[in-house]
Amino acid sequence: MNRREWMQSGLGAMAMLATARASGDEPVDESDPAPLLAKMGPMMETIPVAASELAPGLYLVQGPGGNIAVLKGPDGLTVVDSGVPMRAKEVFETVKRAGGQPVERLINTHWHFDHAGGNEEFARAGATIFATSATRERLSTDQYTAVFKLTTKALPSIARPTVTSDDFELHVGAHTLHLIAVPPAHTDGDLIVHFPTLDVIHTGDLFSNGFYPNIDASSRGWIGGMVAAADRILKIAGPKTRIIPGHGPVGTRDDLAAARKMLATVHERVARLLDAGKSLRQAIDARPTADLDPTWAKGLFNGPIFTRIVYEGLAQHRGAGRAG
């Protein structure tokens, strides 16, 4: 996606709208996440893409999108996630340079544009793409994300995953990768990628290290699922496991446990507000995250936005007929 296409996309248009709105005289609603898109546009264009070695033969590529893992193998590279569409070429070249091999296969942890946005570049170079069937489905159809009022176009067919499963093992040279799907959490297609031979786990957006995560209610995501997913990862993580989060620095089991505790606390508090019949506005005004904000409101989301995200996901989950 070049700059013109970006501006024509829903994201670019939304960013312009958000800028226009922010300069008006209307009172600012700090729980409205839409103005974030105005900040995100320039960030996507300017954040550098850089690679580092995480373990022998395993590299981490970080940039404007989600964290990317690159594993060397006898037949080429196995890559976890493909970054944002507007920097796809640069991400792909950085991945190839870091591993020093052609890319053989790509795994998508979920469908979001900052994790699967570079798929086409990888597919055109011959990579086989793996994901859950829910992720393939969402990448194959236009997606509307209500909280951002954002439409993401379906990927062209060449860029869609061709191998889908909810639990499978890949054997790459001396290494085994265990791909484990979890029930709806960040989305309904999240995949954990465990490298047991290297004691590394890539969590996708089931874990944001050090700040409030996004939870995509429009893709059936909800905070109870996020807590359960954290428990699933904690079960396979050891004291020395290095955990690659979807966003943020590589972390430890303790970092994930801290995030899990925060999520469980917010879940319980927002569930109580819903039980008491509070509206979204009343829940936000009750400031259920006030004591957590100094520690966790360090990423894109402040407390009120995170409260909105949690409330909407939980309300929708309950509406779908499951216990909250």
Binding site for Zn ion (CB under 5 A): 112, 205
DSSP state of 148: G
Q: Which is nearer to Zn ion, 96 or 138 (CB)?
A: 138
Q: H helices of 80-216, where?
A: 88-99, 113-116, 119-124, 133-139
Q: How far is the CB of 150 from Zn ion (least distance, A)?
A: 13
Least Å distance, CB 187 to Zn ion, is: 7
In the complex with Zn ion, the residue whose CB is nearer, 112 or 232, is: 112
Residue 104 or 205: the one with the smaller Cβ distance to Zn ion is 205
- Least Å distance between CB 115 and Zn ion? 6
Sort strands 77-80 and 103-107 into parallel, antiparallel or unpaired: parallel
108 close to 117: Cβ distance less than 8 angstroms: no
Structure tokens at 288: 């259920």
User: Which of 84/172 has CB closer to Zn ion?
Assistant: 84
For Zn ion, give the closer residue by CB, 213 or 288: 213
- C-alpha neighbours within 13 Å on the C-beta side of residue 52: 7
- CB nearer to Zn ion: pick between 47 and 286: 47
* C-alpha–C-alpha distance, residues 290 and 221, integer Å: 23
CA–CA separation, 72 vs 58, rounded Å?
7
Minimum gap (Å) between residue 217 Cβ and Zn ion: 12
Range 41-46 contact pairs with CB under 8 angstroms and sequence separation of 24 or more: 41/6, 41/11, 41/12, 41/15, 44/6, 44/84, 44/86, 44/87, 45/3, 45/86, 45/87
**Shortest separation between residue 143's beta carbon and Zn ion, angstroms:** 12
For residue 136, the minimal CB distance to Zn ion (Å) is: 16
Structure tokens at 253: 């089991």
